Amino acid sequence: MILCRCECGQLFSVEDDLAGSEAECMACHRVLTIPSQSDPDADNAAAEAGAEAEPPGSDVPPILETGGSRLRLRKAGGVGLENDTAEEQEGTTDLNEPFRPPAPKTKKGGLGRKLIRAVVALVILVLGYEFGFGPIAMSLLDKPTLVAVRNGESGGYEAVLGWRRISQEVPAGATVLFRVYVGWPESQTLTLRPLTAGAGPEQKLKLQLRPSHSILVNVNRKSALWEIDENAVKNRNVDAELRKLVQQIAANDMPTAGGTAANAVRNLVREAIKGQVTEECIDLDAYRVDEFAGVTSDAAQKQDKLLLTGLPMRRIVFGNGSASVTFSQMENLEEALELPAFTVSLLPAVTVNVPARQPLRILRTAHSLRLQIHLPNQVLKVRRGQFPGSWDYLATCKTGTAPGNGWRWQWTFNGAGELGGEKVQVTSVWDMKQMPTVRTDKLPKQ
Sign of CA dihedral 27, 33, 37, 39: negative
Q: What is the pLDDT of residue 48?
A: 62
Q: What is the pLDDT of residue 296?
A: 57
Which range has the worst mean pLDDT, 95-104, 106-115, 215-224?
Answer: 95-104
Question: Is 332 within 8 Å of 364 (Cβ atoms)?
Answer: yes
Closest CA to 393 of 425, 371, 415, 377: 371
Q: What is the pLDDT of residue 264?
A: 96
Does position 83 have pLDDT exceeding 60, yes or no? no
User: Following DSSP, what letter does each residue of 218-275 receive, concatenated?
Assistant: EGGG-S--EEE-GGGTTT----HHHHHHHHHHHTT---THHHHHHHHHHHHHHHHEEE
* pTM of the entire predicted model: 0.65
Q: What is the pLDDT of residue 384?
A: 78
Does position 80 have pLDDT exceeding 50, yes or no? no
Q: What is the pLDDT of residue 30?
A: 83
Does position 65 have pLDDT exceeding 50, yes or no? no
- Angle (deg, nearest 10), helices 240-250 and 257-272: 150
Q: What is the pLDDT of residue 428?
A: 94
Q: What is the pLDDT of residue 75?
A: 35
Q: What is the pLDDT of residue 33?
A: 82
Segments of 84-213 assigned E as strands = 93-94, 145-150, 157-161, 166-170, 175-180, 186-194, 203-209
Segment 253-260 long-range contacts (CB within 8 Å, at least 24 positions apart): 254/404, 254/407, 254/409, 255/371, 255/395, 255/407, 255/409, 256/403, 256/404, 256/407, 258/362, 258/369, 258/371, 258/395, 258/397, 258/407, 259/369, 259/397, 259/403
For the stretch 113-134, pLDDT in tens is 778 777 776 765 555 545 556 6
Judge residue 398's burial from the number of C-beta atoms within 10 Å of its C-beta, 0-12 exposed, 13-18 middle, 19 or more buried: exposed
For the stretch 13-24, pLDDT in tens is 778 887 888 888
Kindly report the backbone phi and psi dihedral angles of residue 82, in degrees, each rounded to the nearest multiple of 5, phi listed first.
Answer: -90, -25
Q: What is the pLDDT of residue 246?
A: 97
Q: What is the pLDDT of residue 339?
A: 97
Percent of the chain past pLDDT 70, that is, above it, reads 77
Q: What is the pLDDT of residue 109?
A: 56
Distances (CA, A) of 141 to 19, 74, 130, 211, 393: 84, 74, 16, 11, 57
Does position 37 have pLDDT exceeding 90, yes or no? no
Question: Is 316 within 8 Å of 228 (Cβ atoms)?
Answer: yes
pLDDT interval class at 26 (50, 70, 90): confident
Domains of the chain: 2-94 (no CATH), 124-223 (2.60.40.10), 237-275+310-442 (no CATH)
Which amino acid makes up residue 90?
E
For the stretch 6-15, pLDDT in tens is 888 787 777 8
Give the DSSP letter of residue 130. I
Higher per-residue pLDDT: 419 or 431: 431
Q: What is the pLDDT of residue 381?
A: 86
pLDDT interval class at 81 (50, 70, 90): very low
Q: What is the pLDDT of residue 401?
A: 57
For the stretch 142-198, pLDDT in tens is 889 999 999 999 999 999 998 878 999 999 999 999 999 888 888 999 999 999 988
The CB density around residue 82, as the number of other CB atoms within 10 Å, is 9
Helix (H) or strand (E) holding 80: none
Average predicted confidence (pLDDT) for the chain: 81
148 bridge partner residues: 177, 216
Does position 217 have pLDDT exceeding 90, yes or no? yes
* Residues shown for the chain: 446
For the stretch 374-398, pLDDT in tens is 999 999 988 878 899 999 999 999 8
Contacts of 112 (CB under 8 A, 6+ apart): none
Highest mean pLDDT (candidates 38-42, 210-214, 238-242)? 238-242
The CB density around residue 333, as the number of other CB atoms within 10 Å, is 20
Higher per-residue pLDDT: 348 or 52: 348
Average pLDDT over residues 269-289: 93
- Alpha carbon distance 338, 38 (integer Å): 127
Percent of the chain past pLDDT 90, that is, above it, reads 47
Average pLDDT over residues 68-83: 36
pLDDT interval class at 445 (50, 70, 90): confident
For the stretch 227-237, pLDDT in tens is 999 999 999 99
